[in-house]
């Protein structure tokens, strides 16, 4: 079985993107995180944020509400929250440091869950 040159090019691009083949250029860090949550579920993600950097949440058409809570990773203190009844919350880091973002799904209408996307201003 032979592989076409287009398939070889695609395979090479995928291997470079996944880090299996080294290149001289540094790899970009992803800013977005994709999650899957059922009604009433929550999860956490963590990362380093710069003062004033915001983390934004969004969920699919089956989601009527999504909440974000920002905690200082060292003290565990809640420092910012967006628990308004909407599907596009955001939280903002008050200082540079490591933070934990709790993502809560209070209202997902689909029995198999809802897709959630997180992004930040600078990548976290």
Instruction: Please report, for the domain that includes residue 70, its CATH number.
Output: 2.60.120.380
In a domain, 23, yes or no: no
pLDDT at res. 12: 46
> Domain for residue 101, yes or no?
yes
Tell whether 19 is covered by a domain. no
Residue 50 lies inside a defined structural domain of this protein: yes
pTM of the complete model: 0.74
Specify if 103 maps to a domain.
yes
The pLDDT score that the predictor gives to residue 31 is: 59
User: Which domain does 65 fall in, by range?
Assistant: 29-120
Residue 53 placed within a domain: yes
pLDDT at 14 over 80: no
Q: Is residue 18 part of a domain?
A: no
More confident residue, 96 or 13: 96
* pLDDT at residue 32, rounded to an integer: 84
Instruction: Count how many domains the chain has.
Output: 1
Q: Are 13 and 21 in contact (CB under 8 A)?
A: no
Residue 123 has a pLDDT of 79
Residue 89: inside a domain: yes
């Amino acid at each position: 079985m032979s592989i076409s040159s287009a398939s070889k090019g695609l395979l090479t691009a995928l291997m470079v993107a996944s880090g299996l083949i080294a290149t001289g250029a540094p790899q970009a860090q992803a800013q977005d995180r994709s999650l899957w949550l059922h009604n009433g579920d929550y999860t956490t993600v963590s990362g380093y944020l710069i003062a004033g950097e915001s983390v934004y949440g969004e969920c699919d058409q089956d989601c009527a509400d999504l909440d974000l809570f920002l905690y200082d990773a060292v003290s565990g203190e809640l420092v910012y929250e967006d628990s308004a009844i909407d599907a596009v919350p955001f939280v903002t880091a008050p200082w540079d440091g490591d933070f934990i973002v709790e993502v809560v799904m209070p209202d997902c209408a689909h029995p198999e869950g809802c897709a959630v996307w997180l992004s930040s201003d600078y990548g976290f």
